[in-house]
Structure 1
Amino acid sequence: MLAFAAALLAFVQPAPQALPDTVDTAEEEVEEAVEEAAEDIERARIRPVFSPSTLYSTSKGFGVGGGVAVDDVVARGDHLQVEARISQRLQGGQAEYLTGELGHDRLVGVVGVAGWTTTRTSFVGHGPHSALDGELFLDRLAAEAEARLAWSPGGPRGVRLQPTVRLKFDRLRGFEERRAGGLAAVQPGDLARLRTLAGEDRVGVELALSAIRDTRDIPAMTRHGSYVEGELARFQALDESGLGFWRARATALAFRPALIRLPFLPERGALFVRATGVVTRPDGDEPLPWVYLPELDRDLLVGYPRGEFVGRDALSLGIGARSVVGQAIGAFLFEGAAMATVGAAYNDVTAEFTPRVRLNGARAEPGEKVPLSPSLAVGLSLHYLDRERPIVGALVGIGPGGATLASFRLVWGLGDYRPSLR
């Protein structure tokens, strides 16, 4: 009987289950990798970048410039932008990666690199009293790497703290006259300081901390709000020069809706004011090399060639208006902007500032106070109706010497029909 029961139990006991096959074959691993890559490509948004203004320059010659901007590269919300320019007398490129969206995410990491070489860097001296007739072309190789962390503890509308580390490299390989007789017009002090840089590699590191508050409603087409940024930086050379300096910089923009709407415009638009200042103080009495002096570039004082406004300190003030000026096929908006600006570079702004404005383009004599230089900027950009990102934008600067195309950029979106302009 017991033997029969044992035989019955052996018959009804379920057979052992086979273990599931959890190990992928080589073919399955390849197939999964291809599917993941396809999902990443589908998720990423790619936008080519094209700069028509790089097609020709009177100093750099013929060339081409552009790149690509990609969103959601590694994770949702990140951004990668790579650009390059190749011209007859300038070659360079830059790349920047952001882990999130500034002004939206509480914590964003940013890394960037840039490098360029050119034989056409414009040089007209080390300060506001240098002679404009003594313009030289510098043969220069430069590179910069930057890493920063943007932290908004109070949210996107609060203060954003931004510690930054920058590594800078610069090599002056030589210089030549832009026009015949230009070398003779260069002031002896400027020429002596420039010759000390020739053939030497300048390397240094800069540590900076900035605080930013951005309350603009739409950064691309702001109608109200403000943007305020202040930065304090310390630079220390890593080469044999051992020089060091402190630099403070502040920028403020304020927007408000226009008081009235002009009858020929579809909306009221906005008025805005802008102020930017830079102050630099070296550790000792030795003057700073030209490569470390701030410059009022075409973003701050349009209508002038680069290199004309260089000094330890700089100031720029502007007032302007912007508004939608037209619509096209129910999907696009044309926005126009105009801004009047005055600015100047100084050896010491506390001793050389004067509210007087120069209209003839003449330089201040040594020992004189430095007057402000005027300029007028007129721009036009094309946007989608959502007003988030312009498709194309151009800016023309008008100064005492005539008109200058300050910028012209085109960024077109592929796949999602969402163009972007940086």
Structure 2
Amino acid sequence: MKTKQIIEMAQTLEKNLANSPSNKNAVLIQPANVLPASVLLELTGESVRGRLCSFNAPNGEEFCMRPDMTAPIALEVARGNLEAKRYLYSGSVYRFPQAGSGDDIEFDQTGFEWFGSKNGPKEDAEGLALTLETLTNTGISGGELVFGDSALFYALIDALKLSAPWPARLRKAFNRKHGPRELMDAAGKPSQRSPLASALSALDEDEARAAVEEVFAVSGISAVGGRDAGDIAKRLRSLSENGDGPSDKARQAITSFLDLRVPARQAVDEIAKIAKAAGVKLDKALSEYSERLDALEKLRAPMVDKSVFDSEFGRRFDYYDGLVFKVTHEALGASLPIASGGRYDGLVSGLSNGAISANAFGVALRSDRICCVLNKEAGQ
């Protein structure tokens, strides 16, 4: 249940963001509360279904309450209903909490979604600085800024020139903690594969679809979330194609990257060493990472001087394809960020099937967690 303190904090955050020069022309928006579950499941995969507050329409189509603000706003941009510009938001989102988090199913998010910029690193720095200054203005001190960077991982995977389907699988697995490690460990181990997936791999596309339809008929279930029998058959067949996985040299490079948790500036040298040992170059991705740090330091944003690069830190949603970040506080622990966000340049294009493209950067601040930190610091 929202307390008066949390409501007032959300209002304070909204006012602070709205009064920033960065949001001079931003539009305050309240996106749709309900959206097709298929949109979220395509973006995040089936692993998050259990956290969605979903329901079925009489025709069987699955819908869900918005689990964040990014997806419904980006969807409206992709549909051409909103311009690609800067937006502010503040309101409730809905998802079942992680075990032990203490979160309510409904909680407030306040933040912004910026669409259309052509200078990613500088906009990242601008958005991050605004976020960190907003937290500081609420009285937060002692927070830790943690970076991840999907673009660096993707650049490494592309440079290694792995055989299909490994590049796509490792990219998707990166948004799940320990995902790439688990995927590589499972390579070549038939016992780790789905028996149904292995059986379907021996069939052609039409036979596999028919087999899945038969399973539906026998079990009395139906496909939901926009996936038909053909989609499910294709996904299951792909699961059996692990093969032997990346070479030892490529595996070593990927593992060394995933092992990195170092001061943010030091990450540049460490990743360059990994690339050199693997015989590849990551100059463009590392240059953009350095440009972002330079811009942040120039803006004198709080927390940046002690920021950490954690290569395995990713975001739950697959649409993040560049910088990802979170701000945590020792009062709550590393698993409960008070602010988080990142870059998702490919989301609008993906949602519109390529009809509309718009680079984007977004941030969410948690008023309930900020209040909790402030109360603990005050001894309440």
Q: What TM-score range do you get, normalising by the shorter chain? A: under 0.3
Q: TM-score, normalised by structure 1?
A: 0.25
Higher strand share: 1
Higher-Rg member (1/2)? 1
Higher helix share: 2
